[in-house]
């Protein structure tokens, strides 16, 4: 399963199912594993402002899972503020195809992404 900027997979270890979430940040791969049985009540500290919810159903040895990731504020340097530090990172990525800064997911960092960024600038994060 692929979600923008993230790769989600399911694995079995010691007869327990895990959800593995990979996030590409610059050239670094960050990952988090959670037990599938805990996933329904899981609130991510992984992306401080994102919520990952999973619904699971087992029937005749068939696993069905769905994940939803709420849009997070453009806090690119992850300091819990959208401020000048984030703007400098965003400005460096402007007119690129870096998915981390492509807030409207149109495959290019452009004015539409800037508008989304400005709406969160210097405002309290959820």
Per mean pLDDT, which of 39-48, 63-72, 96-105 is the most reliable? Answer: 96-105
- Euclidean distance between CA atoms 19 and 36, whole angstroms: 6
- Euclidean distance between CA atoms 54 and 40, whole angstroms: 5
- Are 26 and 79 in the same domain? no
Of 69, 90, 111, which marks where a domain is finished?
Answer: 69
Structural domain including 58 reads 2-69
| CATH assignment of the domain containing 119 | 1.10.1330.10
- Are 52 and 26 in the same domain? yes
Say yes or no to pLDDT of 62 above 90: no
Banded pLDDT at 56 (limits 50, 70, 90) = very low
- Are 9 and 31 in the same domain? yes
CA-based nearest residue to 64, from 34, 43, 39, 30: 39
The residue-averaged pLDDT of 41-60 equals 39
Q: What is the pLDDT of residues 83-92, one digit of tens each?
A: 999 999 999 9
* Total domains in the fold of the chain: 2
Euclidean distance between the first and the last CA atom of the chain, given in angstroms as a whole number? 27
- Are 56 and 79 in the same domain? no
The residue whose two tokens read 């996030």 is 23
The residue-averaged pLDDT of 5-19 equals 58
């Amino acid at each position: 399963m692929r979600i923008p900027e993230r790769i989600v997979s399911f694995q079995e270890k010691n007869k327990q199912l895990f959800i593995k979430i990979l996030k590409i940040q610059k050239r670094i791969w960050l990952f988090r594993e959670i037990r599938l049985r805990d996933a329904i009540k899981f609130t991510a500290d992984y992306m401080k402002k994102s919520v990952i919810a999973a619904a699971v159903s087992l029937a005749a040895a068939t696993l069905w899972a769905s994940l939803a990731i709420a849009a997070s504020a453009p806090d690119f340097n992850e300091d819990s503020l959208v401020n000048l530090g984030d703007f400098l990172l965003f400005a460096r990525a402007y007119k690129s195809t870096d998915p981390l800064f492509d807030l409207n997911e149109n495959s290019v960092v452009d004015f539409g992404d800037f508008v989304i960024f400005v709406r969160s600038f210097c405002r309290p994060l959820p």
